[in-house]
Amino acid sequence: MKFEFEYEVYDSIIELAAADQELVNKAFNATWLSYSPYSKLKVGACAMTNMGHTIIGSNQENGSYSVTICAERVLLSTLSTQYPDEYITTLAITYLDLNDNSNHPITPCGVCRQAMLEHEIKNECSIRIILASQNGQIYIIEKGRDLLPLPFSI
Ligand code: THU
């Protein structure tokens, strides 16, 4: 067996389609809503739904570190609560690292990959994922399940 997938690589945000640039900019604006006094890594996400709504999320940390919620899962919870009948078509994720350069695309953690996968399964949809950096490359992945081979399922 073999698992492989293709993804697009762009050198700058200006190479993206206008709608994608807008989503990345909204994700970047959401980084300012991040509560991340411990890691100083401000993650922002913005999703477009099938009904044309945009939803944002940002990471929310806690002094008891494991309580922290990633930007992606804040966004997914907000979507399920605010627009329970809608699903994500495109999701942009970006970040601002106060300790370092923000010059490589952020890639979601395993927990968020599992959460995104379940969103795809329950809605029978594919989330097109834009992994962005402020001054580095941008990756576009056609579906969340590409990011999680052999996922947990019951
Ligand atoms: N974080 C996210 O928000 N999304 C990810 O995909 C990876 C990590 C957050 C969690 C924590 O607040 C900080 O980044 C450092 O791990």
Q: List pLDDT tens digits, range 18-52.
A: 999 999 999 999 999 999 999 999 999 999 999 99
- Beta strand spans in the chain (E): 8-10, 41-49, 54-58, 88-97, 128-131, 138-141
Residue 92 Cα to ligand 1 middle (Å):
14
The closest residue, in CA terms, to atom 2 on ligand 1 is 70
pLDDT digit string (tens) for 46-89?
999 999 999 999 999 999 999 999 999 999 999 999 999 999 99
Using alpha carbons only, what angle is made at residue 145 by residues 143 and 151, rounded to the nearest 5 degrees? 170
Q: Select from 4, 28, 85, 102 the least CA-distant residue to 51.
A: 85
Among 33, 68, 98, 100, the mutation site with the greatest number of ligand 1 atoms within 8 A of its Cβ is 68
For atom 6 of ligand 1, the residue with the nearest CA is 108
Can you read off the two tokens belonging to residue 128?
A: 């097109």
The dihedral formed by the CA atoms of 74, 78, 29 and 38, expressed in degrees to the nearest 10: -20
> Which residues have CB under 6 Å of ligand 1?
36, 39, 41, 43, 59, 61, 68, 70-72, 108-109, 112
63 alpha carbon to ligand 1 midpoint, in Å? 14
Q: Which residues pair with 92 in a beta bridge?
A: 46, 130
- The alpha carbon of 71 and the centre of ligand 1 are apart by a number of angstroms equal to 7
Judged against a pLDDT cut of 90, whether residue 134 lies above it is answered with: no
Structural domain spans, the chain: 8-147
Give the class (CATH, top level) of 8-147: alpha beta
| Per-residue pLDDT at 131 | 98
Q: Global pTM?
A: 0.97
pLDDT number for residue 135: 87
Residues assigned a catalytic role: 72
Ligand 1 atom with the smallest distance to the CA of 61 is 12
pLDDT attached to residue 6: 97
Separation of alpha carbons 132 and 139, rounded Å:
7
